Structure 1
Amino acid sequence: MPDLIIRKIISSREEIYHEGGPVVDTPLLRGSIMAIIQNPFAGKYEPEIQGFMEDLKPLGLEMAQRLLDMLGGPDKIEGYGKGSLVGEGGELEHGALWHAPGGYAMRQLLGTANAIVPSSKKVGGVGARLDVPITHVNAAYVRSHFDSMEVGCNDAPRANELAFALVMTTGPRVHSRSGGLEAWDIKGEDGLR
């Protein structure tokens, strides 16, 4: 498969103390990391692309570890998600190559994550933004952890690039009060409840 060529890696960390209600003692942390890489398939249709997923696995592990370090380690993480932005010379399917390398990397480093990692992807021009969905790491139906984080870069993705993102959070939305399954009621049997 083609070489993995990284142009840049961007990371961001938010500390959320309130959303109009009382200030919390411990802020919710939300973090993202995004790698801008060359798209080896840009500008042409390539029928066999699955092998590139193997090449992306070390990148997924490196990004997940850096994100975990930024947010305080695996025992602090309660939510996660992933996403892909594909430059105009590529196709949506190139963004789908991030599903396994990004998702499995986070689940492997977290150790106890049972829920599927939610994801989004789109084709966009330079400066495109992507809302990456977030759910609880052990039970996708925990409503308090339904969230999203916007990612993007002012000079990416260029037509021949891919932007792969991972996001994690340390807890529910600040002031969550919409009901539904609560984190302390997780059974952990199927990654849903």
Structure 2
Amino acid sequence: MPDVAVRKQLITVEEILHEGGPVAAVPLKRGAALAVIANPFAGRYVEDIAGFMEDLKPLGLAMARRLLAALGGEAAAIEGYGKGAIVGAAGELEHGALWHVPGGYAMRELLGDAKAIVPSTKKVGGPGTRLDVPVTHINASYVRSHFDAMEVGLPDGPKADELVLALVMTTGPRVHARVGGLKASEIKGEDGLR
């Protein structure tokens, strides 16, 4: 498989104090790590692309480490996660799916025994395309207070022959979560759902 050629990377962290209600004692942090890489399959149909997932694993782990560090460095502080990819116009949606294993497993490896599936999204678009990366609780996908999303993107990517790969982590529920459902304190941790 081809080498992973990174053009640029970005780390961003939001600190959310309130959304019109009372100021949180501890702000919610949402962070994203993005990497713009060359799409080795752009411009043509390639049948066997799955091997590129293995090539992306070191990048996924490096991005997850940088993101965790930007959020304070404590794996125990991370409660939510998600991933996504933006495929340049000369690629196909399936090229974004190559990020599922290297992106998801990198975060799960760093965060210990995370049980929930890492939610994901992908789309095809040009430079400046924005992507809403879905977020759920790391141990139970049904924890409603942690249903969230973070918008990501770069002004100059992806070019037609590039991919933008994204990881997102959060330190807690939405800052004013109050719509009921399964609470984080009620997680049984048996199946990644509840």
TM-score range, shorter chain: over 0.9
Name the counterpart of 1:27. 27
Aligned to 2:79: 78
Name the amino acid aligned to 1:80. Answer: Y
How far, CA to CA, are the matches of 1:177 and 1:163 in structure 2? Answer: 34
Report 1:157-168 matches (<5 A). 157-168=158-169
User: Residue 41 of structure 1 aligns with which residue?
Assistant: 41
Residue equivalent to 2:183 = 182
**What residue is the counterpart of 1:58 in the other structure?**
58
Report whether the alignment pairs 1:104 with 2:96. no
**CA–CA distance in structure 2, aligned partners of residues 25 and 180 of structure 1:** 23
User: Deviation of residue 8 (structure 1)?
Assistant: 0.2
Opposite residue 24 of structure 2, the aligned amino acid is V
State how 1:103-182 maps to structure 2 within 5 Å.
103-182=104-183
Runs of 4+ in 1 over 3 A off after TM superposition: none
Q: TM (normalized to structure 2)?
A: 0.99
Post-superposition Cα deviations, 1:110-129, rounded to whole Å, max 9, x if no partner, equal 01200000000000011100
TM-score, normalised to structure 1, is 0.99
2:49 and 2:87 map into 1 onto residues whose CA distance is: 15
| Distance (whole Å) between structure 1 residues aligned to residue 184 and residue 76 of structure 2 | 15
Q: Which residue does the alignment assign to 2:13?
A: 13
Count residues with an aligned counterpart: 193
Could you list the per-position Cα deviations for residues 79-101 of structure 1 after superposition, in whole angstroms to 9, with x for gaps in the alignment?
A: 00000000000000000000000
* Distance in 1, Cα, partners of 2:29 & 2:127: 28
Mind listing any 5+ residue stretches in structure 1 that lack a counterpart?
A: none
RMSD across aligned positions (CA): 0.4
Aligned identity (percent) is: 70
Q: CA deviation at 1:78?
A: 0.1
Note the C-alpha offset of 1:24. Answer: 1.0
1:125-153 CA-to-partner distances (Å, cap 9, x unmatched) read 11100000000000000000000000000
SS at match of 2:173: coil
State the Cα deviation string for residues 35-77 of structure 1 (Å, max 9, x = none): 0000000000000000100000000000000111111220110
Query: Alignment partner of 2:81: what SS?
Result: strand
CA distance in 2, matches of 1:112, 1:14: 25
Give the whole-Å Cα distance in 1 for the aligned partners of 2:25 and 2:146: 19
Unaligned runs of 5+ in 2: none
